[in-house]
Structure 1
């Protein structure tokens, strides 16, 4: 079971490197974030994803990301 809080904080603070995607078991997407970390795009997307993880209900988050 993945932690919603951990995924959200990783997305907000380390989203430009794709750390939250590696944590959630999506290494291909994490590598894509890592490949473009020199631009601001992964940082912006990671921040938005981190906030959205924190705002989701625990049930929805676990249904989407918890089974990996």
Structure 2
């Protein structure tokens, strides 16, 4: 029974892998992935769309914080490096067919976007 479930999970991940990878390619890719996943629902792709949306909103928040002189600039620069690391981990998870959350805020993204 477990082998059947594993094969099912693997096939779901393989079907959604392209959509999941597209989700991590800029905001335009996120929108395209969202539209593509609306046509044919895939849980793997949906998970990575949520993670990518969280990363995009985190980047937006960093941009707003970066407008604050001196302290905001420092937080923005450090935050961009952390965000880049999170983005690379998320993209690598999508490429490898893994449904792992991105470091630091990934669990929060799942919680915040559970109805998406």
User: TM-score per shorter chain, which class?
Assistant: 0.3 to 0.5
TM-score, scaled relative to structure 2: 0.24
Q: Which has the larger radius of gyration?
A: 2
Structure of greater relative contact order (alpha carbons < 8 Å, 6+ residues apart): 1
